[in-house]
Amino acid sequence: MNTKQIKGMLSLPQLEEKIRSGAIETVIAAFPDLYGRLFGKRITGDFFLEQVARSGMHACNYLFTVDMEMNPVPGYRYANWETGYGDFHCVPDMPTLRRAAWLDKTALVICDIYDEPGDSLTAIAPRTMLKKQVTAAVQMGYLPVGASELEYFIFNETYDDARKKNYRDLTHASTYLEDYHILQGTREEPLHAPLRRYLCESGVPVEFSKGEWGPGQHEMNVRYADVLTMADNHTIYKQCFKDVAGSLGRAVTFMAKFDEKLAGSSCHVHLSLWDPSVKKNLFSGDRAIGPVMASDLFRWFLGGWVYHAAEMMPFYAPTVNSYKRYQAGSWAPTALSWSHDNRTAGFRVIGRNDSLRIESRIPGADINPHLCFAAALASGLDGIRNRIEPPELFEGNMYSASSLPRVPGSLRDAVTGLEQSAFARDTFGADVIEHYIHFFKTEQNSFDRAVTDWERSRYFEQV
């Protein structure tokens, strides 16, 4: 793995130099919320150096108890009207400091969230949950390394125009399927070329972009890294993409299933464990596991990840829309089993030696990456601790294999699984899981109250 200095990353002295020269005027200090969105403040460069870099900043703790429209949701113990919605403490994680190259004279730093008063990490914060699992892996002697492959649809409308049209009858950036299609990719280069450049100049190294299996659907992959860095980069990538698309009069969606007639947008998640010096992939070994030469560590990690997948499902598929992606023949998995280099599998094993890794094809593009990686890593580590064997290797078309355990069919079913999971409570804490159960149930309840276009079309005249 490449551990050299990443282009665009800044040390505090480098930031100070750029602020003094006028190259940087603003520093965004931000953190991921429960949905995976970045929230925080834009801070003048001088004030960041004088105060925030050393002492952090404060934000209202209601930000971990709101719905997507920013309405405070009752029923959370963590923060509510009875406690008056106080503050939490945002502390910049200085190794994440970087240029935000797509913004004028701007830098960005990711913050950790601490309880106020006190100095303990806020347990329900997504970044805290992932850091806890990374710490557990390091204590066991492993460095978890991962990647996330985001897919998305591009539209020729602006976000404002899409909203005015109620997100209907939008113009796709292409009129045909463009998987690996260079001609159509050229037409989308006015968006992708600056995006690749801006990300690379902002500490998020890009590998490539390519057309995907939908009109106007594309994928851009960034280089793998330790999982905390990867989750941070994933979040910054989405922020950058939406900002750049908006500036060019385009809209992009990371919905898992934008249109029932088209393929969904996935976020294939890759994981492997390395030694602390990042010189050896510990999944590699001399034991034949199906067609793969791997270690017992690999076998047990895979076993744990598969075994706990159903009860961890809300962290891989967090919205009502997520579950509409799991359709036979759609490139999204429907079964919870594994195979070797098989795109019908929920868990696809690929690579060899130092490239050997497990790819889960279950997560969609709507994930919160910190929560997704936390759930996946916790599951795999539990597999190692308890030597959980993976199911039998499956070969063939998993879509037609009726005997395999299935992906949960709805957010409601998935939340029930999480609610009944002793593993989730033992791993993340009962209070944390209670918070997220309420969060996911709030999402389900919002949908249950909504009257949809489908209902109007079906029932308006005929009932």
Tell me the three-class secondary structure of 68-121, residue by residue: CCCCECCCCCCCCCCCCCCEEEEEECHHHCEECCCCCCEEEEEEEEECCCCCCE
The residue-averaged pLDDT of 330-337 equals 90
DSSP letter at 335? B
Residues 108-118: b if buried by 16+ CB within 10 A, e if exposed = bbbbbbbbbee
pLDDT at 2 over 70: no
pLDDT digits (tens, 9 = 90+) for 171-222: 998 988 888 888 888 888 999 999 999 999 999 999 998 888 889 999 999 9
CB count in 10 Å sphere of residue 394: 21
| CATH 3.30.590.10 residue spans of the chain | 137-411
Core vs surface per residue 177-214: b (16+ CB within 10 A) or e: bbeebeebbeebeebbebbbebbbebbbbbeebbbbbb
The identity of residue 297, as a single letter, is: L
Is domain 12-122 given the CATH code 3.40.50.740 in the classification? no
Query: Strand 284-289 and strand 292-294: pairing?
Result: antiparallel
Domain boundaries for CATH 3.10.20.70 within the chain: 12-122
pLDDT of residue 4: 60
Helix or strand holding residue 446 (H, E)? helix 430-449
Inform me whether the pLDDT recorded for 1 exceeds 80.
no
Candidates 144, 88, 92, 65; CA nearest to 370 is: 144
**Could you tell me which of 341, 338, 314, 335 has the C-alpha nearest to residue 435?**
314
Report pLDDT for 447: 95
β-sheet bridge partners, residue 268: 149
CATH 3.20.20.70 correct for 137-411:
no
DSSP state, residue 289: E
Q: pTM for the complete prediction?
A: 0.96
What is the distance, to the nearest Å, from the Cα of residue 409 to the centroid of all Cα atoms in its chain? 21
Region 299-325: mean pLDDT is: 97
Structure-token pair, residue 85 = 């919605």
